[in-house]
Structure 1
Amino acid sequence: MTKKIFAHRGIPTLAPENTMPAFEAVVSNGLKWIETDLSITKDEDVFIIHDDKLDRTTDQTGSIETVDTEVVEKADAGSWYSDKFVGEKVPTLDQLIKFLNDNKINANIELKGVVGDDANYLADKLCLKFSKALDNLDPDIDLIISSFSPIMLEKMNKLNPELKYAVLFEHQAIQDDWNLVMQACNAKIIHPDDTDLTQQKIAMMKKYHYQINVWTVDDKERAKQLLDWGVDGIFTNKADQMKDLLD
């Protein structure tokens, strides 16, 4: 199986994370996989952003599921990073699909958990809108859908059972029931935290024939070690510096 380097939120060492310039940096560096995140607004539009709140990566404030689309549309997602990116926008789901199609880039798309009073309703809407958008995705593009939330994976799986699903685990979450979680989510791929990840733990996961993609690894020697131990992929903020590990 071909090893993978996933450009985590694009290449955030070259452009603000989860913006079109960060994704375009993946193309210019000859990489084939990106990792990115989906969230939904109060009025049910889907955007590419990692945090629950707008505060860290834009000039707006508040949790995305509590604000209307117009707040996200007017947000400056680049000025916090550098003057070069002033006015950069938060991408939409449709922009992401077009980018993947135009550049033949594969994607790991993480479904963010939805919180708040309307959480279940908005979670259903997020999955439904994502599912409909995938009708426009080039079928030759490889896609993995991941989440920390088994509920989000279950909702998406009901709509698209044919897709590839991955469960994200923080290191402290890999307990005796980890494989039950995998089975409950119909997941064939596991995304463990790099923290405290050992060769023995990787062998344990491989025993069940899961693909293993590890997050988030920015040290090149560590990435090489993990690949040598048999993991299938690495999520990294420095994908441009890791690409020769695939040679």
Structure 2
Amino acid sequence: MTKPWPLPFWIAHRGAGKLAPENTLAAFRLGAAHGYRAFECDVRLSHDGRPFLLHDDKLNRTTSGRGPAGLLSWHELSRLDAGGWHSRAYAGEPIPSLETVAAYCRRNGFGLNLELKPNPGQDEETGRVVALAVRELWAGSERLPLLSSFKPAAVAAAQAAAPELPRGLLIDKARDSWTEEAKALGCSTVITNYALMDRAMVEAVHALGMKALVYTVNDESVARWLMANGLDGIITDTVDKFSPV
């Protein structure tokens, strides 16, 4: 049996959106300083199977490394600078492991939406390994992370490995199959590009007994319109604009 819904309405994208280097503990701390109590982040596997935070398949954009992230061991990844690309203030900020993020979130009682970001060809492995790691790292916790992905195979593998964890299907483009996919995966939520979410979509998600969430809303008028249509949660970059209280 799955745990109760673990997230508040407002969720900080990749820690603190663009105000700090994404997917780092520095970003989480800045988001928390703005009052956020739940975070979205991206998790993938190192060459030796350690879950860590990084959005892109390659290291180039947000770290001092180069090339596919999945080719490096966790020891090699942990030595990279994941903050200097953003600004001097964050130079030397490391890539966090899932273990480090778990300790931070559990210690502070924060919610977490872990987006499964498989390296090429690792959809099932990523879902399985991350789900088993989450089960261990959050053992005994009443607030378990939500595991979500654009890759149904990754969510299915997480479902098989740790069925008690809440799951979400991410959708970036409209497709008729989403309802059957979400039901088959036993999802707690459907998370769409905000441009796809209107009142009819919210009602369709609710009819499945699931929560309707969107990413990435940074405009106040858009947020107000979505909230008026019965939305259950917003993932945002602009943690300095929207009060999560």
Relative to structure 1, the CA distance from residue 68 to residue 50 in structure 2 (aligned partners, 3 Å threshold; closer, same or farther) is same
- The amino acid of 2:135's aligned partner reads S
Is 1:133 paired with 2:137? yes
Is 1:164 paired with 2:169? no
Question: 1:64 deviation in Å?
Answer: 1.6
Question: 1:145 deviation in Å?
Answer: 1.3
The answer on whether the counterparts of 1:215 and 1:234 sit within 8 Å (CA) in structure 2 is yes
Name the SS for the 1:129 alignment partner. Answer: helix
1:197-236 equivalences under 5 Å are 197-236=197-236
The answer on whether the counterparts of 1:114 and 1:123 sit within 8 Å (CA) in structure 2 is no
1:97-108 equivalences under 5 Å are 97-108=102-113
Is 1:60 paired with 2:65? yes
1:1-247 equivalences under 5 Å are 4-116=9-121, 120-121=124-125, 124-135=128-139, 139-170=141-172, 172=173, 174-243=174-243, 246=245
Name the SS for the 1:6 alignment partner. Answer: strand
Question: 1:179 deviation in Å?
Answer: 0.7
Deviations 1:110-130 (A, max 9, x none): 1112314x6655654344334
CA distance, structure 2, for counterparts of residue 89 and residue 78 of structure 1: 7
Relative to structure 1, the CA distance from residue 80 to residue 8 in structure 2 (aligned partners, 3 Å threshold; closer, same or farther) is same
Name the SS for the 1:206 alignment partner. Answer: helix
CA distance, structure 2, for counterparts of residue 208 and residue 243 of structure 1: 29
The answer on whether the counterparts of 1:9 and 1:35 sit within 8 Å (CA) in structure 2 is yes
Relative to structure 1, the CA distance from residue 238 to residue 142 in structure 2 (aligned partners, 3 Å threshold; closer, same or farther) is farther
Higher helix share: 1
CA distance, structure 2, for counterparts of residue 16 and residue 200 of structure 1: 36
TM-score, normalised via structure 1 length: 0.89
Name the SS for the 1:109 alignment partner. Answer: strand
Deviations 1:35-70 (A, max 9, x none): 111111111111111111111100101222122223
Q: Tell me which moved more, 76-85 or 145-154.
A: 145-154
Segments of structure 2 that go 5 or more residues without pairing to the other structure are: none
Name the SS for the 1:81 alignment partner. Answer: coil
The answer on whether the counterparts of 2:84 and 2:90 sit within 8 Å (CA) in structure 1 is yes
- The amino acid of 1:94's aligned partner reads E
Root mean square deviation of aligned Cα: 2.1
- The amino acid of 1:128's aligned partner reads L
Q: Which runs of 4+ in 1 moved over 6 A?
A: none
Segments of structure 1 that go 5 or more residues without pairing to the other structure are: none
Name the SS for the 2:66 alignment partner. Answer: coil
Name the SS for the 1:42 alignment partner. Answer: coil
Q: Percent identity?
A: 27
Name the SS for the 1:55 alignment partner. Answer: coil
Deviations 1:13-36 (A, max 9, x none): 321111111001122122211111
Residue-pair matches, total: 240
Deviations 1:218-239 (A, max 9, x none): 1121112111110100000112
Deviations 1:84-140 (A, max 9, x none): 111110001111011011211111111112314x665565434433433232xx613
